[in-house]
Amino acid sequence: MTILVLVFIVSAFGCPHFTLQHGRMQRMAVFQNVTHPSLASNDAPSDLPSAVDDLQRPINETTGSLSDCPEMASNYPEVHKEIVAGKVLDVTGLFALTGEYRAGLAFLAAAVIAVKIINEQHDILPGYTIRINAHDTKCSEPDGLDAFYREVYDPNRTSIMTMGGTCSHVTEATAQVSHLWGIPQISYSALSPYLSIEEKFPTFFRVVSPEQYFTQARIELFKSLGWKKVHTIYQNYFLFSTLDESMQQKMKANGIEVISSGQIFTDDPEPNVQTLLQRDARIILASMYEEKLRKTMCTAYHLSRANKTRSHPWYKRVVWILPSFIDRQWMNRTSGTSNCTSEQILEVAGKYFSIGSTVYSRNHGYRAVGNVDPVQFANQYTGKALFEKAADMIPERFQRLYREALAQSRNESLPSEHRAGEGYDCMWAIALALNNTLTYFLHTGDNRTLEDFRYRDRNFSHILYEAMKKVSFNALSGPFVFNSKGEKSPDIEIRRYNNDDDLQYSWLGQCICKVHDIDNCNCTLDTDKIRWENDFPPVDGVQTVKRVIHVKRSLLYVFLVLASLGILLSAVLLAFNVLRRTHRIIKMSSPRLNNVILVGCALAYCYVLMLEVNVDSSVPMCEIRSFTILLGFSLSFGALFAKTWRVYQIFTAGSALKRLNTKMLRDSSLFLIVSALVIINSLILVTWSVISPQMQTLVQISTTPADLLTDIEFVNLHLRCDSPHKPEFTWAILALQGMVILAGTFLAVQTRKVSCPELNDSKWIGVCIYHVVVLCPLAVVVVMATENSPDTCYALEASITILMTTMTQCLIFFPKIIAYRKYNEAHSSQSNLALHNGSSTFSRHSDTPSTSTRSIMTCEFPSQLAYGHPECVASLKCPNCHCYFNTRTFTDSLRLKWKSANIPARIGSRSSDGKHENTRHSYQIQELGVKSACISSSFCRPQTPGYNRTVSHNQLTAIRSNSDSNLNRYILRRYVSLE
């Protein structure tokens, strides 16, 4: 666009004797061999080569003449005519009085004040007066170049220096041209890093520190507030793009990530702001002029209000770092914000930060050149007072712009008037450089004077350049000296906008850097002066904080107590089982297998104790836990499975009992089943430990969303046993245990109707297996489903383990304890009754025993004759019966042992021929499967009158046939008791 404008102007006004060579990197247009627009000539194209040749002529030759460009006489800016008598030194002044950054209004006024003071000084430039020839560059490159060429082609004057410009991109354009004319240029405002390239701008100076010098101060600010992630958004100017590039490198070296969201290429910043919103940017460094800044803030306001994902608008959580050069009332201007009020823009901007050069020294008693107090100057020359002080030397057509700016301001201030002091310092630097040049001529005996300066006189230009490098004075900002690049050494202030009616900044700190080492800065920052809404600094984004989640102590203590009580219960039951192992009730229930069950239960309780134990990683706690729970299950459930298997073998064999391998029914054989399960599980665990050992690992289990106040997102970690191949081994172990549980379920279902009172085991063993079948899979599912919730997982896993283990112990051993107590109570009552009635209750000569007598008989049969006969005839009940038992119905080898406190050991007597006699005895019969009957080959006569019953041989055979289950009980009891 710039090229088109220049081409249009050239075609309209062409001037033959001027060549512009202006190179811009990347986004700047390249101007070469473009004639000056204000010098018109119809034969301009034919004279372009001569314009190029002019640049090759000797320095002291002058090209062009007034007759070539007659238009110049009427187009140069008006200047004040009342100049102090003496020789006039013209200085070209490039100021942005209109356009997107009108700070030139304040700079021009301050520079005019400096000129007044300088012209009144007798020790500076004696015999000379300085005159500023001000031009409005409109913060536009074409207008800036046009103003420069109008000045250099003005036939009425020769400008010895160029002051300006206000905007960096305009300064870049003019500074590349001014050195071709041999005119040193010094800026009071341009901050572009690009201007620091000496090869491009060999005669350029500035009294401000460039933007890249502020990076160190930004880093100190970010570090002090804990910010490590910064987003940037900038306008499409080389000033801002080069700043972003240089800043990223330094910040990255200091551990700060700079995230660029792109440039604002058009007048609509919405896509870029939308990107910031989507990224949830919190710390934003915006680099742009005021108009674009207002537009950006307005867009942020509307997009945040439209976003309903959060209760608070996005901009409420954003901290802005804005350029130091913007006006303090930038939000009150109207351009670019037709759909936003100043209050809405201020609401978005909040209390933003600003980092820039020190404009007014804060040192007490410090006096600047011209005997000016910097603080007094800042307080006195503001707004209308600043304009009125310089109005008599400001052209009338520019005074109208001042009045308009003051009228638009809420408190009659000028745009960016807080930087006016830099214009004052810049004018003094020019005056001192000229004074140094004049002194050089006097000391060297050079007959030249300052009015002898001519354009393209490289020798004179070099003298001016060296004189400018030696300038040092007390500027309003503090002691001033140029560094090796012709720039002000950084003296940087960190400020924060108060966001109140006074439109003032709070001074937070400063960075003072060495003159020739800008990276070596001493920064002080008083963060205590910063007042935050929530009493702590905002974060640079949703902070991710890792924290280890442990099971609640209260929950942990509850289950530790329960597990300890369970271990105590196992120990008590084990002691009881061992101490009473010879008792008939305990002995008939395989006490050694019961001991194995109790040991397995104790190990299960120990596993609960180790569920949430955090120890040093050198201790293989994970392997210990795995071995504990798996060994406990193998022992307890393996013993239950073995006992159920024995019951199943006996009670489902039927007539095959004659061929049953009784050796496999002994306890010693059942231990092989338990041992096999333990060995298989142990082999799997050992293989697991060798191939993929488990380690205590912090595993991410969940994420706690960011809080609206703190913006901290917690990544919740939990210490868990983990290994690369944990899933494979876990499923292998679960599959094996599942098959064992299914086999146990099958045996429990098959033996569910078995009842063995003396053992008192089979029914409760089945119940134990049922609840293991239900609870074990439930435990696996619960643990897998709740492993990301430590409290829930721990509580459910520990609860199921304790419940399953406790139920197993109680169902197996509490019925035995109850039977044990009843047995002892029954025998105790019999003993007492025997002592009361005497030892001869049953007499050989008595046919009628006492009706209150209760007998228990145990019969022993040879195994080959056992089939068909009950073990204990006394298991049928026939109250008050006189039973006549014909012993000849059994084989002669039958031996009956009566074990009763009041029954003789022998139940009959032999005759003289050695054969058994019919012996009549009275006894009570307990359960044998047939109720209220007596086994006899003759008859059973009750004492009750009128009752007479005879049991035939056929009936006895039927009774025997229906008593197979009782025989099974006998075999089970026999091979258990024989152990």
Q: Does residue 141 or residue 68 have the better pLDDT?
A: 141
Quote the pLDDT of residue 593. Answer: 84
Q: How far is CA 557 from CA 311, 554, 563, 720, in A?
A: 40, 5, 10, 19
Question: What mean pLDDT comes out for the span 874-878?
Answer: 35
Question: What mean pLDDT comes out for the span 189-209?
Answer: 91
pLDDT tens digit string along 415-451? 888 899 999 999 999 999 999 999 999 999 889 999 9
Cα 296 from Cα 337, distance rounded (Å) = 9
**pLDDT tier, 65 (very low <50, low <70, confident <90, very high otherwise):** very low
Quote the pLDDT of residue 304. Answer: 87
Quote the pLDDT of residue 809. Answer: 86
Quote the pLDDT of residue 513. Answer: 76
Which residues form the domain of 498?
211-362+493-534
Q: Tokens 């090229």 map to which residue? A: 3
Q: Is residue 428 part of a domain?
A: no
Give the residue ranges of DSSP H helices in 350-395: 374-380, 384-390
**pLDDT tier, 21 (very low <50, low <70, confident <90, very high otherwise):** very low
Are 350 and 240 part of one and the same domain?
yes
Work out the percent of the chain whose per-residue pLDDT is above 90.
Answer: 22
Domain with residue 340: its CATH number is 3.40.50.2300
Question: What mean pLDDT comes out for the span 30-47?
Answer: 32
Q: Is the pLDDT of residue 854 over 50?
A: no
Cα 548 from Cα 560, distance rounded (Å) = 21
Are 216 and 351 part of one and the same domain?
yes
Q: Does residue 105 or residue 881 have the better pLDDT?
A: 105
Range with the largest mean pLDDT of 82-86, 172-176, 914-918: 172-176
Q: Is residue 774 part of a domain?
A: yes
**41 Cβ neighbours under 8 A, 6+ residues apart:** 14, 15, 16, 47, 68
Q: Is residue 600 part of a domain?
A: yes
* DSSP characters over 43-57: TTGGGHHHHHHHHHS
Q: Give all strands (DSSP E) within 35-146, no chain letters.
A: 87-95, 128-136
**pLDDT tier, 546 (very low <50, low <70, confident <90, very high otherwise):** confident
Quote the pLDDT of residue 793. Answer: 85
**pLDDT tier, 610 (very low <50, low <70, confident <90, very high otherwise):** confident
Q: Based on the number of CB atoms within 10 Å of its own CB, is 363 exposed (0-12), middle (13-18) or buried (19 or more)?
A: exposed
Quote the pLDDT of residue 358. Answer: 86
Q: Is the pLDDT of residue 485 over 70?
A: yes
Of 503, 534, 565, the residue that ends a domain is 534
Question: What mean pLDDT comes out for the span 672-678?
Answer: 87
Domain with residue 621: its CATH number is 1.20.1070.10
Are 509 and 602 part of one and the same domain?
no
Q: Give all strands (DSSP E) within 627-764, no chain letters.
A: 695-704, 712-722
**pLDDT tier, 615 (very low <50, low <70, confident <90, very high otherwise):** low
Q: Is residue 244 part of a domain?
A: yes
Are 510 and 573 part of one and the same domain?
no
Question: What mean pLDDT comes out for the span 820-840?
Answer: 64
Quote the pLDDT of residue 613. Answer: 65
Quote the pLDDT of residue 244. Answer: 78
Quote the pLDDT of residue 697. Answer: 82
Extract the tokens encoding 450. 């300052």
Range with the largest mean pLDDT of 467-481, 694-708, 878-892, 941-955: 467-481
Report the range of poorest mean pLDDT among 277-281, 356-360, 491-495, 584-588: 584-588
Nearest to 227 by CA among 289, 295, 145, 283: 283
Question: What mean pLDDT comes out for the span 260-283?
Answer: 78
The mean pLDDT of the chain is: 73
Cα 448 from Cα 441, distance rounded (Å) = 7
Omega before 165 within 30 of 0, i.e. cis:
yes
Strand 491-497: give its sheet, edge to edge.
257-264, 229-235, 283-287, 319-323, 353-357, 491-497, 505-514, 517-525
Are 800 and 923 part of one and the same domain?
no
pLDDT tens digit string along 247-267? 888 888 888 888 876 666 556
Are 717 and 590 part of one and the same domain?
yes
Quote the pLDDT of residue 71. Answer: 36
Q: Does residue 917 or residue 824 have the better pLDDT?
A: 824
The SS3 of residue 941 is strand
Question: What mean pLDDT comes out for the span 486-498?
Answer: 85
Quote the pLDDT of residue 708. Answer: 63
Are 881 and 815 part of one and the same domain?
no
Are 690 and 611 part of one and the same domain?
yes
Q: Is the pLDDT of residue 517 over 50?
A: yes
Question: What mean pLDDT comes out for the span 502-526?
Answer: 77
Q: Is residue 463 part of a domain?
A: no
Are 761 and 867 part of one and the same domain?
no
Quote the pLDDT of residue 888. Answer: 35
Q: Is the pLDDT of residue 48 over 70?
A: no
Of 808, 824, 840, the residue that ends a domain is 824
- The Cβ-side half-sphere exposure at 6, using a 13 Å CA radius, reads 23
Question: What mean pLDDT comes out for the span 59-82?
Answer: 35
Q: Does residue 67 or residue 430 have the better pLDDT?
A: 430
- Phi and psi at 14, nearest 5°, equal -5, 135
Q: Is the pLDDT of residue 842 over 80?
A: no
Quote the pLDDT of residue 114. Answer: 95
Question: What mean pLDDT comes out for the span 150-170?
Answer: 93
Quote the pLDDT of residue 31. Answer: 31
Long-range contacts (CB closer than 8 Å, 24 or more residues apart) made by 190-194: 190/165, 190/166, 190/239, 191/239, 191/325, 192/168, 192/238, 192/239, 192/242, 192/243, 193/239, 193/242, 193/243, 193/246, 194/25, 194/168, 194/238, 194/239, 194/242
Report the range of poorest mean pLDDT among 213-217, 726-730, 785-789, 844-848: 844-848
Are 819 and 689 part of one and the same domain?
yes
Range with the largest mean pLDDT of 544-558, 887-901, 911-925: 544-558
Q: Is residue 418 part of a domain?
A: no
Quote the pLDDT of residue 338. Answer: 67
Quote the pLDDT of residue 73. Answer: 33
Q: Is residue 813 part of a domain?
A: yes
Q: Is the pLDDT of residue 761 over 90?
A: no
Report the range of poorest mean pLDDT among 337-341, 501-505, 520-524, 535-539: 501-505
Nearest to 427 by CA among 109, 23, 732: 109
Quote the pLDDT of residue 64. Answer: 36
Are 526 and 557 part of one and the same domain?
no
Q: Is residue 33 part of a domain?
A: yes
Question: What mean pLDDT comes out for the span 202-214?
Answer: 90
- Phi and psi at 357, nearest 5°, equal -70, 150
Report the range of poorest mean pLDDT among 89-98, 197-206, 286-295, 654-663: 654-663
**82 Cβ neighbours under 8 A, 6+ residues apart:** none
Quote the pLDDT of residue 265. Answer: 57
**pLDDT tier, 97 (very low <50, low <70, confident <90, very high otherwise):** very high
Question: What mean pLDDT comes out for the span 724-732?
Answer: 86
Are 552 and 680 part of one and the same domain?
yes
Q: Does residue 865 or residue 957 have the better pLDDT?
A: 957
Extract the tokens encoding 859. 């019969």
Give the total number of structural domains in the chain: 4
Q: Is the pLDDT of residue 491 over 60?
A: yes
